[in-house]
Amino acid sequence: MPSDRILPAIGMRLLSVVIFALMNTAIKLAERHGASVSEILFFRQFGACLLVSAVILAGPGLPSIATKRLPGHIIRAIVGLSAMAFTLNGIVALPLAEATTIGFTVPIFATILGALVLREPTGWHRWGAVAAGLIKAASLGAARGEGAEEGGRRGDGGRQGGGEARRRRRLVLPVWKQGSIS
């Protein structure tokens, strides 16, 4: 990438981080005000379709999206929609800070897939970062598990720890059982 494009690219990436944080907060607020995960998912995707359609029609026009690789695009859309459904369920079921912390593992798995599937060069320093990230993610999960067991034994009526974790699991399961995610 030419050096004159690096700073704008970094700025766009940082702006996207802020916008994703705002979106995740809006997801939590929508759920708290009675929206189901399927409703949030629909309007999130519908809004994206409107925005992309406006950009295409205002710019290069419909011929610009003609493709000979439609099956590949359909598979990518299914994978993307599935990822978004799981992400929304996680955001709704977990505290936002915890869902975001788990989201920090995305670069770890992207590095692994980049090396194994795309055959991108991955030096020892990146593999070291992957190992450190996986260890840290495992330690966060282990710390959460310890707190959950401890909270269930404290006799606090399930307001924290184990009781809270069980309550969140019940929150997610009815979403799937009601068929709101197809």
Q: For every residue of 138-165, which 3-state class applies, written as one string?
A: HHHHHHHHHHHHHHHHCCCCCCCHHHHH
Neighbours of 147 (CB within 10 A): 15
Q: For residues 53-81, b (16+ Cβ closer than 10 Å) or e, as one string?
A: eeeeeeeeeeeeeeeeeeeeeeeeeeeee
Cα–Cα distance for residue pair 145/162, rounded to 1 Å:
8
pLDDT string in tens for the chain (182-residue length): 567 889 999 999 999 999 999 999 999 999 999 999 999 999 999 999 999 999 999 988 888 888 999 999 999 999 999 999 999 999 999 999 888 888 888 889 999 999 999 999 988 999 999 999 888 888 876 666 554 444 444 444 444 444 444 444 444 444 444 444 43
pLDDT at 142: 66
Distances in Å between the alpha carbon of 122 and those of 23, 64, 129? 32, 34, 11
pTM of this prediction? 0.65
Helical packing angle, 6-32 and 96-103, nearest 10°: 140
Q: Say what the pLDDT of residue 50 is.
A: 95
Q: What pLDDT is recorded for position 13?
A: 92
User: Rounded to whole angstroms, how far apart are CA atoms 87 and 43?
Assistant: 15
* Residue-level pLDDT at 78: 95
Show the CA angle centred on residue 155, arms to residues 150 and 156, nearest 5°. Answer: 90
- Residues composing the chain: 182
Q: What is the pLDDT of residue 117?
A: 95
* Rg of the chain in Å (alpha carbons): 20
